[in-house]
Amino acid sequence: MLKSWKSVEPYLLVTPQTLVFLLFLVFPIATIFIVSFWEFTGYSMTPGFTLENYRNIFTSQVSLATYLNTFKFVGLVWFFTLIIGFPVAYFLAFYIDSLRWQIILFLVCTIPFWTSNIIRMISWIPFLGREGLLNKLLMGIGLTSQPIDIFLFSDFAVVLAMVHLYTLFMIVPIFNSLMRIDRNLIAAAEDTGASGFQVFKEVILPLSQPGIAIGSIFVVTLTMGEFVTVRLMSGGQAASVGYLIRNQIGSLQYPLAAANAIILLIVTLAIIFGILRTIDIRKEL
C-alpha cells in the first residue's frame, strides 16, 4: 500500500503543472497549427485545408526581408547584451569580495527589471528625440549643428531599447556560472604561471559557457517574437516577424498570422537547438 502510494505520489504532484502546460501551451499551439491551414474571408476564418497561407509567406519578398531584419535585431541584441552582460557579471563575481556588496550591486542591476518594460522603453523617447536631451547636449558642445535623426524611430533605437531591457537576462545566468567556478582552480592555474589573460581564456571562459548559452537562449527567444519595442521605438517603421504577426492579427488575418507564428516557432527552436548543440547546459540545470 505504502509502496504503491510512493510510486503514484510524484505523478499526482506534477499533475497540476502538467495540466497547465497541456491546456494552455500545447493545445493552443496545436490550434495555431491547425488554423494555419484554414481559409480567410475578409473578416473571418473558415475551416478548411489550404497551403495558401504558407505559399503566401514563402513567395513574398517582404516576409523574407522581415525575417532577415528580425535576425539582424536578434544578432545585434544578442551581441550587445553579451559584451555588456559578461563584463558586468564578471566584475560582480570576481572583483567584489564581500557578499554584502555583491548583493547590493546585484540588486542595483536588477531593480530596473521591476519597473514596467513599457515605461522603461518610452523613457528613451524624451532622451533620444530630435529635441531630446542627447541632441541638445551634442549641439550644446558643438559636435553637431543639426539634430541627429537616427537616435529615435530607427533600428538603432529598437536595438538600444532591447539591449536596455534584456541585458539582465544575460547577466544573471552568466553570474550564476561564474560563481560556481571553483576558486582553487584559478589559484592553481595562477600557481602554474598562467597570466591573467590565460586564466580568463583557458579557465573562466570555458566554464562560463553554459551561463552564456542560457542567457543567449533567453535573449533570442525574447527578441524573436518582439513587437512592442519594434513598434514604439521604430515609430512603426521597422519590420520584425512579431510585429508582422501582430499587424496580421490586427487586420483579422488569423490564418496568415498563425502560419507566420508556426514558422517563427520553428525558426526559434532551430536557433536554440543550434545553441544547445554547441554548448552543454545540463550542468546548470
Partner 1 sequence: MGLKKRSPTFYILAAFFALFVLFMYGPMFAIFTLSLQGQNGALTFPVRSFGFYWIKSLFLQQQRIGDFGAAFQRSLLLGLIVMALTVLIGLMAGLGFRRRFTGSRIIFYLTISSLIVPSVLVSLGIGIAFSLLGIETNWYSSGLAGHLTWTLPFAFLIMIGVFNRFNLSYEEAARDLGASEWQAFKEIILPLIAPSLIGVALFGFTLSYDEFTRTSLISGGRNTLPLEIFGMTTNVTTPALYALGTVTTAFSFCIIGIAFAAFQFFSHRQQQ
Partner 2 sequence: MANLTRRQLLRTGLAAGAMVTATQCARGTPNNPAPGPTVNTNQTKDVTLRFIGTGVSQINEIRQKAEEDLGFKLEMRALSTEENNQIAITQAGQYDVFDGEYFSLPLVVPSGNLQPVDVSRITAFDQIVPIFTTGQLYDGAKVNSSQGTAPHRVMFLTDQESTEFAPEPTNWATLIPFQYNADTLGYRPDLVGREITSWGELFNEEFRGKTSILDIPSIGIIDAAMVVEALGLMTFGDKGNMTREELDQITQILIEQKRAGQFRAFWKTFDESVNLMSSGEVVLQSMWSPAVTAVKAQGIECIYAPLQEGYRAWGGGIGLSRNLSGIELDAAYEYINWMLDGWVGAFLGRQGYYSAAPENAKKFMSQAEWDFWYEGKAATEDMIDPFGTKLESAGAVRDGGSFNDRMGNVVVWNSTMDEQTYLVQKWNEFVAA
Select from 64, 68, 187, 205 the one that contacts partner 1 (CB under 8 A). 187
**Which DSSP letter does residue 202 get?**
I
Residue with cell 488569423: 254
What is d(CA 90, CA 193) in angstroms, rounded to the nearest whole number? 22
- Which is closer to partner 2, CB of 82 or CB of 125? 125
Tell the smallest beta-carbon distance from residue 132 to partner 2 (Å): 8
- Which is closer to partner 2, CB of 131 or CB of 191? 131
Select from 216, 223, 229, 248 the one that contacts partner 2 (CB under 8 A). 248
Residues 6+ apart with CB under 8 A from 267: 67, 224
Tell the smallest beta-carbon distance from residue 258 to partner 2 (Å): 14
- Which is closer to partner 2, CB of 38 or CB of 40? 40
Q: Are 72 and 84 in contact (CB under 8 A)?
A: no
- Which is closer to partner 2, CB of 130 or CB of 201? 130
- Which is closer to partner 2, CB of 40 or CB of 86? 40
What would the grid cell of residue 202 be? 583557458
What is d(CA 281, CA 278) in angstroms, rounded to the nearest whole number? 10
Q: Choose the contact partner of 212 out of partner 1, partner 2, none; CB within 5 to 8 A by kind.
A: none
Nearest alpha-carbon partner for 171 in 215, 208, 132? 215
Site for partner 2 contains 139 (CB under 8 A): no
What would the grid cell of residue 129 be? 528625440
**Which DSSP letter does residue 283 get?**
G
What is d(CA 60, CA 53) in angstroms, rounded to the nearest whole number? 11
Asked whether the CA dihedral 142, 144, 145, 149 is positive or negative, the reply is negative
Site for partner 1 contains 218 (CB under 8 A): yes
Q: Are 181 and 210 in contact (CB under 8 A)?
A: no
Tell the smallest beta-carbon distance from residue 225 to partner 1 (Å): 3
Site for partner 1 contains 43 (CB under 8 A): no
Site for partner 1 contains 87 (CB under 8 A): yes
Select from 74, 76, 159, 245 the one that contacts partner 1 (CB under 8 A). 245
Residues 6+ apart with CB under 8 A from 3: none
What is d(CA 65, CA 67) in angstroms, rounded to the nearest whole number? 5
- Which is closer to partner 2, CB of 34 or CB of 62? 62
What is d(CA 58, CA 256) in angstroms, rounded to the nearest whole number? 12
Nearest alpha-carbon partner for 89 in 199, 183, 172? 172
Site for partner 2 contains 31 (CB under 8 A): no
Q: Choose the contact partner of 27 out of partner 2, partner 1, none; CB within 5 to 8 A by kind.
A: partner 1
Residues 59-78 that bind partner 2 (CB under 8 A): 60, 62-63, 65-66
What would the grid cell of residue 222 be? 525574447
Q: Looking at 14-22, 28-36, 128-136, 188-196, which segment touches partner 2 (CB under 8 A)?
A: 128-136
Select from 97, 100, 141, 146 the one that contacts partner 1 (CB under 8 A). 97
Binding site for partner 2 (CB under 8 A): 40, 42-44, 56, 60, 62-63, 65-66, 125, 129-131, 149, 152-153, 234-237, 239, 243-244, 247-253
